[in-house]
Chains A and B, each alone.
Chain A
Amino acid sequence: MARAVRSGTRVDTVLLVACCVMALLATVLPLNLREAIAGGLRRTVVAPLVSLQEQAVRGRSAFLSRDATTSRLDSVALRNMQLAKLETENERLRALLGLGRELQWGFVSAEALRIADIGEEHSRTLTVGSRVGVEPKTPVIAPEGLVGMVRTVDPNSSIAILWSHSDFAASAMSADRSAYGIVYPHLSESGRDAEIPPERYLLEMRGVAFRSALKPGTLIVTSGLGGVYPAGIPIGTVLGELRTSEGWARTYLVRPAVRPPDVSNVIVLLPKRIQGQSLDRVWRSTMSADSAARRIAAAGDSLARRAAVDSMRAVEAAAVRRAADSVGGQPARPGGTRPPGADTARRAPPRADTTRPAVRRPDAPRPGTQP
């Protein structure tokens, strides 16, 4: 019994000493040998543990970066939401450019800044002033139509009232010139007729002769009478007739062409441009400008497509030419395969004084065929 215990103790001691010696040896091994042993262990016994550790580390990184990822996602979503706004603004600016192109001369473009003061929601500060020729009572327009007019002018800025301002009035007519009247802002808070849409910003066209009945949807433009607004600027479309106590004239409710929240970039017509010139042709052209732009874009696309096809053909032809050169006189067929045995056939080396047969271009007409 005592001997067995002694023997067991001896085995334990031997094992312990052996393990310690091996561990100490491992610490003093050359680096490449240590790396070799460690690499062997990592690739075999420890491989599942290494994989587990990697996954745990990856999980921790994902957990730690969760907040950052979430905020990045939020910002991307926010930017995505702003894209629609930017697209709209882009379209408006493009339309403004089209309007400027049609007007050709006698105008300045400006930025319309919202005035933050209470009660000034129907006015805008324009970023142009008397230095570029802006004067009081000059019209302010947008691609959609009439915006308002300049009220006060400073050297570098001016203040314009919108058509929704209570002081606004414009001489107007139907687009077919069958009815004339004066357009004012519709100041009542709610629609008086049930069939009229409850829009906050509307216009009234007053003083229309009783015999001149206007159908809903009729376009109302400036008439040019009064000398402030040139004729032909769209104001809005008729929504319906308003019932008034006056029996000798009609009053129509008009949906404005320009929505005040959309007023951001405008064109100010200079006085010399206003005098005696109708602008209705300008808007007719502007309305077709969008479709023209689409046509131009489509034409550009088709040109690009054609250029791409041409370049593809050129690349193909070059490849065919190279292939023909490598075959050494065997003209390759474009898009086709080489004749069987071209690689294996023994050919006599070409003589120096012989000329290589001409390689036919793929786009060249075939001999004997009519184009």
Chain B
Amino acid sequence: MSWTRSARAVLAFTLLVLLHYTIRPFLGWRTPVDFLVIAVLLSAVRVRPGAAALIGFCTGLVADSLTPSAFGAGALAMTAVGASASWLKAVFFADNVVLHGFFFFVGKWAFDIVYVTAERRMHGVELATQLLLWSPLSAAATAVAGVVLLLMLRPVLEPQAA
């Protein structure tokens, strides 16, 4: 990956992190869009699995610093999602919007499953409701937002060759 492409990817990543800490709390939805997952997924498909795991770990740790009670759960979930996305990137290299949307949906849902399990705070019906109702809804919102952002950021992430 050239320096220019790296810089562009870093810019897009930073932008998504900023959106996570501005748009998300401002909207305050019950099923929030997870811009951090989108950022990790978009970065993961551009680097090797080890680097993707590291990116996921660091991003998760940053997110966990605001929720000390679940400290580590976000890092673990982001590591898993980032590494998995990097290993499976060949599947998603196809320039298909629907596939990208599915990619974001699965990524966010997987993140929630790992996070909630590692957090060990919810049990029984509450856990089931979270994983089978709110998490898919949040994943859907994340997928939609991810697709929209991908279309908007495409000139930055994949510049057309002259």
Q: What is the interface of chain A, defined by CB distance below 8 A to chain B? A: 8, 11-16, 19-20, 22-29, 31, 34-35, 37-39, 41-42, 45-46, 49-50, 52-53, 55-57, 59-60, 63
A187 to B4, CA, bound (A): 93
Given contact pairs A26-B75, A27-B71, A15 touches B54 in the complex (Cβ within 8 A): yes
In the complex, the answer to whether B22 meets A26 with C-beta atoms within 8 Å is no
In the complex, the answer to whether A16 meets B64 with C-beta atoms within 8 Å is no
A14 to B53, CA, bound (A): 10
A145 to B90, CA, bound (A): 99
In the complex, the answer to whether A53 meets B25 with C-beta atoms within 8 Å is yes
Question: What 8 A-B pairs have minimum CB-CB distances, sorted nearest first?
Answer: A26-B72, A15-B50, A12-B50, A27-B72, A23-B76, A41-B65, A19-B57, A23-B75
Given contact pairs A19-B79, A26-B61, A42-B66, A12 touches B17 in the complex (Cβ within 8 A): no
Residue of A nearest to B26 (CB): A56
Q: Among the listed A23, A49, A56, which residue makes an inter-chain contact with B72, where contact means beta carbons less than 8 Å apart?
A: A23
Q: A28-B72, A63-B26 are in contact. List 15 more A-B contacts (CB 8 A).
A: A19-B75, A20-B80, A23-B73, A24-B118, A26-B76, A27-B72, A27-B73, A31-B68, A42-B65, A46-B65, A46-B66, A49-B21, A53-B66, A56-B22, A57-B25
- 20 A–B contact pairs at CB < 8 A? A11-B48, A12-B50, A19-B57, A20-B76, A22-B75, A23-B60, A23-B61, A23-B79, A26-B61, A26-B76, A27-B72, A29-B71, A38-B65, A38-B66, A41-B65, A46-B66, A49-B18, A52-B21, A60-B27, A60-B28
A60 surroundings in chain B (CB, below 8 A) = 25-28
Residue of B nearest to A20 (CB): B79
In the complex, the answer to whether A12 meets B79 with C-beta atoms within 8 Å is no
From residue B117, how far is it (CB to closest CB) to chain A in Å? 10
The number of chain B residues touching the other chain, given as a range, is 35 or more
In the complex, the answer to whether B75 meets A34 with C-beta atoms within 8 Å is no
B48 surroundings in chain A (CB, below 8 A) = 8, 11-12
In the complex, the answer to whether A19 meets B72 with C-beta atoms within 8 Å is no
From residue A59, how far is it (CB to closest CB) to chain B in Å? 6
B64 surroundings in chain A (CB, below 8 A) = 26, 38
A26 to B58, CA, bound (A): 12
Main secondary structure on B side of the interface with A: helix
B22 surroundings in chain A (CB, below 8 A) = 52-53, 55-56
Q: Which of B1-36 contact A (CB under 8 A)?
A: 17-18, 21-28
Residue of A nearest to B17 (CB): A49
* B107 interface contact, C-beta 8 A: no
A42 to B68, CA, bound (A): 10
A34 to B26, CA, bound (A): 28
A352 to B66, CA, bound (A): 68
* B62 interface contact, C-beta 8 A: yes
A330 to B106, CA, bound (A): 86
From residue B116, how far is it (CB to closest CB) to chain A in Å? 12
From residue A4, how far is it (CB to closest CB) to chain B in Å? 12
In the complex, the answer to whether B25 meets A23 with C-beta atoms within 8 Å is no
Residue of A nearest to B70 (CB): A27
B51 surroundings in chain A (CB, below 8 A) = 12, 15
In the complex, the answer to whether B71 meets A38 with C-beta atoms within 8 Å is yes
A19 surroundings in chain B (CB, below 8 A) = 53-54, 56-57, 75, 79, 83
A52 to B24, CA, bound (A): 11
B83 surroundings in chain A (CB, below 8 A) = 12, 16, 19
Q: Among the listed B28, B50, B68, B73, which residue makes an inter-chain contact with A35, where contact means beta carbons less than 8 Å apart?
A: B68
Report which residue of A11, A15, A23, A24 has the largest number of chain B beta carbons within 10 angstroms of its beta carbon. Answer: A23
From residue A86, how far is it (CB to closest CB) to chain B in Å? 42
